[in-house]
Structures are given as C-alpha cells and as structure tokens.
Chain A
Amino acid sequence: MRSDALKAWAVLAVEVGAAVLLATGVVALLEARLGVPNASNVYLVAVAAIAIRHGVAGASLTAIVAVLVYDFFFTEPYFTLTVSDPDEWLHLILLLFVAVTVGQLAALQRSRAESALAREHESRALFDVTRTLATRTSTFEALPAIAAALAREASMRQVWFSLGTDDADERVAGQSSTGAVPMPARGYAVLHRDASGGAAAWTYVRGPAFGRGSASASQPASERHVRVRMEQAGRPIGSLWAAHGARDGLPDAPTTTLLRVAADLVAQALAHDRVEEETRRAEIAQQSDALKSALLESVSHDLRTPLASIRASAGTLMDPDLALDPDEVRASASSIDREAQRLNRLVGNLLDLGRIEAGVLRVAEDALDLEDVISGAISLVEGRAGLRRIEVVGDEGAVLGDPILLEEALVNLLDNAIRHTPEGSAIRISTASADRSAERPVHVRLSVEDSGPGVPDEALPRIFDRFFRAGGGRRPTGTGTGIGLAVVRGFVEAMGGHVVARRSALGGLAIDVDLRAAEIPATVDAAT
C-alpha cells in the first residue's frame, strides 16, 4: 500500500517537474531570444495540463513550483527566491486560481466518466442476471452464470450463492468460477438495509462465516468478503457472497446497488421456482389419483373376466353330473389354458408398467438381428393369431437394443394388431432403413400394421397413454387393458428408440418403432 502511494507521488513529481521544465524552456526562449517582456503565462498551460491529469493538488503544486522557478530565473534579483514584486504575487494567485478551477473541472469530468462506466457495468450485469433468469429452466442451474456475470461486471474475484435457511446450513449452490470457494475465516462485511430494503450500509462482522462450500479453501490474506442476505417473505433463504481484493475497499454505491438488486432478483426467482414446483407436485398427485382409479377400474374388470371364464370351465369339468365327451373336456381345458395365458400377459404388462414408472428398468445394449427378434415374437403369438396372416416384409439387419424388451414390445404390438384384425385378414411387420436426420441418426424402422378398423386421426397421438382405448371408454369385448401400448412406448424409449402411430395403408393402425441401427464392425462380418 505504501509503495503504491510512493509510486503515485513519484509519478506526480516527475510529471510536475517535466511540465515546469518544458514551460520554463519555452519562457526562456520567448523572453531571451524573442524579447517578450513577460512570458510567465506559458506556465498556465503547464498548470492546466497537470490539473487535467492529477486534479487540484497536483496543479497547485505545479503553480507554486512554477512561480518559484520563474522568480528564480526570470525576475530581478536573478537567482534568488525573494518575491518582492506585487506582480509576482498576482501571477502566483492567478496560477493557483487556474490550477484549482481546471483541476476541479477535470476531476468532475473524470468522476462523471467513471460513474457512467459504473452505470454501464451495473446495467449490463443486471441485464445479464435478468436474461439468465428469464431463460432459465431452474434458478438453481442459472446461479453459476449469474455469479459469473456479477463477478465480471462488479470486478469481484469470485461471486457465489449459498442457499440455506440459516448460517449453519448454507451450502454453496453456484459460483462464478470453478475451484474452491474461500471460507471467510476472519470476518466479512454484511449489507444492512432499512425496512424498505432500499438504503443500505455495510457492517463488518468478525469471526468465521458458517457457510460451507463443497470445497472451501481458507481465505487468502489479500482477500475480503462481503455478503448480501437473500430473503423470501421475511425468512432467510441464503446469501450472495463476493470476494474482493483487500485494497479495493468496500464496494462503492453502484456496486452495492448491483449486488443488492441481483440478490433480490435471485431470491424472487427462487421463490417463483418453489411455487411452480408445488403446483407441479399438486398436478402430479392429482394425475396419479386419476391414474390409480383408472387402473383399478381397468384392472379389476380385465382380471375378473378371464377368471370368470376359468371358473366356469373348471366348474363344468368338476361337475360329476355332467357326462362330457372328450372333445368337450378338451374344449373346457383349453379355455382354462387360454384365459390363464391372457391373465399372465396382463399381469406381465402390469409388472412391466410398474417397472417403467418406477424407473428400475435395466436395459441391455446388444446388436440384435431384427429377423431373429421378429421370428421369436411371431412364435410367441401365433397360437392366438388364429386365421390372421402375419406377413414379414423387408430385411433390415441389426438394431441396438435389449433382446427381452424388444421382443416383449413386439409381442405387445402383435397382440394389439391381432385383437383388432378380423380373422382371415393380414397383419404386416415391415422393416426399413429410415432416413438419417439430425435428431435421430442412423435408425431402423420396424412397423406393425393391421387391417382392423383403425383409430381416428385425432386419437392417434394418445394411443400410447396408459388406459387409453380406441373408441373411448370400455369396449364391450373387454379385450385389451390399455396398457400394452404404454409398455411398448416405455420399452422402446428405454432403448433409445421412438414410437409413432399412423393410419396404415392396410386400413387399420400402423405403429412405427424407430430403433438405433447397430453398426456391425467389418471384423465381425469377416470373422476370420
């Protein structure tokens, strides 16, 4: 600190010396060579120049030195410092007057320029903060960007937000630069505000702050910390912290305003986030209630229907009074078997849906041969396909996916197609290499189309929703639970794929499953 002041004085001394020397040279030239009787006004230029650069004090010094030098060299008696002539006094006073006036004007100008710059920093910082907050998905995620903008515009070494309802549990939530957040170990200045939150003053608090960072470093000796508390409805929610160099002193008024307004904006945004989150939770709870009743309604019906038919068939078989021929026995037994399988598929889909929603699906990523997956799925459903023809078109190599999930998804699609296709009509499975697009790179499209009644266009986007049934409400046949296609979507998306429904050229519904194509390395094909 001392060496800096010395350096400033040295600079001033050199500049004053140089200015006076230069002016003296000019005066000497004018008076001795050109015969100008009194050229002392030249010193005005030197005084004005120093006034602009160094203000009133430097200019006054220049004036005094100039008068002494002029007195020494150019007035009689020469080479003495006696100021006897009243002219000399007048000249000195004039020079001092110019020094003070020009110095003050220059200082005013300079401080205006500085405050304009500060205002520019402030408004740019506030613009950055509000823009970051306006485009945020969550305030929490926006905090590092806001801290960085504040650090840049307020010239702080580091700015960070820590969130918590009291000092003990404040945790660093966003910081302007990576690296450890310093621990204000010796003390810090905290901003006190009046009741309206407006006028503010810094108060020094001794002792360590309790706010903890994920990684806190001890406070460097050359660093000081300031803290602006953030409140929400009168309750503390955290603080804005800033570290500045010890020599910079406490933040000036514009910087203080900037920090205060930024802290308020962030507090407001956090409050807004909280309200939004609460609303979202309430909505989810409501949806989940609606879902549960839909589930109960759907499942209780769909579980009971096959159970009823199983009990009826078993009752027939058990009745000692009935004389059944072998064909009738077989028919009853196969009805029991068929309905039990249906129940099993329903329970399986319910479990799958549960796993999808609970997020516990484990997904393998293998290169799968589509032909293999398709023939596996067909062999699982052909028993229930009856007289419906399942055609397979196209041969599009390998996709990336989980063998079990993909097979189950395909079985569900085929079951759905079988349910809606009249006996004797066709179901088509086709595969095609789909166009490469920006969002979805190389993928293979697997389509299942049926020749059933189809689904109205406006309902197409909803058919993958849980408990949605084409035609609305419960169909009298009671087949299908409205969860098969939800499981398909869950599985396909878990494998990084995508499903869409459209109207099929066969007349019914077409469901396109886009899966990531597996690129088989040349070494695998060569297989030497």
Chain B
Amino acid sequence: MELHSAGEDAIIVYLGHATSPEVAARVQAAVTAVTQTLGPDLVDLVPSYASLLIIYDPLQTDHLSVSHRVRAALQSLQAADMDAGRTVILPVYYAPESGEDLEALAANAGLSIEEVIALHSGSEYRVYAIGFAPGFAYLGQVDERIAAPRLATPRQKVPRGAVAIADRQTAVYPATSPGGWNLIGRCPTRMFDPDASPTMPVNVGDRVRFEPINREQFLTLGGELG
C-alpha cells in the first residue's frame, strides 16, 4: 500500500499497480474502511482501478491526521470478499446497424461478427471505476482477442446506450457525447438517469454480463436506433 498527499484536500492510496479483480476487491474494501474511519471529515471518494482518492475537509482536519487514520484502517484490511457486489445483466443488440465499428473490429481481429459477439457476451466483467462523465462505468477485462485501440479520430457524437471497446475495457455510453471507443452494439438500459432511483444500474465492484438480444427485443425494451 502506498499513500501520498495529492492536493490541499486530498490523499491518494494505491492498493496495487495493475487491473485485476483482486486489486479491485481491495479498493472496494478500502472504500468501506475509509468511510468508517473518517466519518464526517470525509468529503468525497473516487475509487478507480488500483487506487482510491480520498477528499477531506482541510478546515476540520489535516493530511497528517487523515494519512494516519487511513493507514491504520487499511493495515487491518481483510482480504476482501471477491464475490461481493451484485451481478447485473445488460441486454445488447449487437449488429452493424447498432455498432458501427463491429465489422471493422471483427475484420481486424480475424474473427467473424458472431465470434466477436460470443466473446464479448461470454465474459463476466467487473465495474472498475465510474467517471469521465456521469454514469460512465469502466468495465474490464475484455478478452484479448477482441481488445481494440481507441479510434485515431474520436467521433463528435456517440449515441446514448452505445456499447464500446477500448483496449481491454468496455462500457455503455450513459449519454450522447463525443468518444473514441469502438462501437459494437447498443444497450437499451439507461446507465444514468438523474430522475431515477437508483440513478445507475451498477456500482463500482459490481459484476456485469451482456446478454445478446435481437432488433425487435431491443426496440421493445425502449432502445433507439439512429
């Protein structure tokens, strides 16, 4: 475990150096431990792949006290329960009309479209981080055979619900936005709805499975094309 002062009101803790379910489970366990130990001095937390950014109130406490308490709390961190978190099923309509890069990605990988779909929907993913935009969940790890680098020129407009791959990460775009990931399908489930409770179907630490659906099912579930 490494701990550093990150700014006037923040420290960052590293619980590993690479993306793995074990490190992610430790990050999750650290979220719970830090929340308990800092109580009202804690302002916000940003868990990510291998780190936890801890934001505190610098007018109530200081980095020495926070570092000391966090170190003590994490020393006794139990080997986290890797099965914690829920499993969420997200339906996906995989097709060239819903995923503009599906054909190119398959061709580059030397696979058929059906094989790409089978590989993408055949793995269970973990929610490693949420950020970039409200509700944008970084899921990993994608099978190496369908990993693909970001587009050289990002698109100005990626539609809401787009299911995409970048390197060994995959995600569902929560809102229409610019983006450089490879689009392979469309998910009708809203990933971020400020008026819904909960606002997101997934949390960091949850597991996600993608379930292939056809065009008709996609439209029935409220999906939109175009």
* Pairing of A with B: no
Report A's interface with B, CB cutoff 8 A: none
The residues of B with any CB-CB pair to A shorter than 8 Å are none
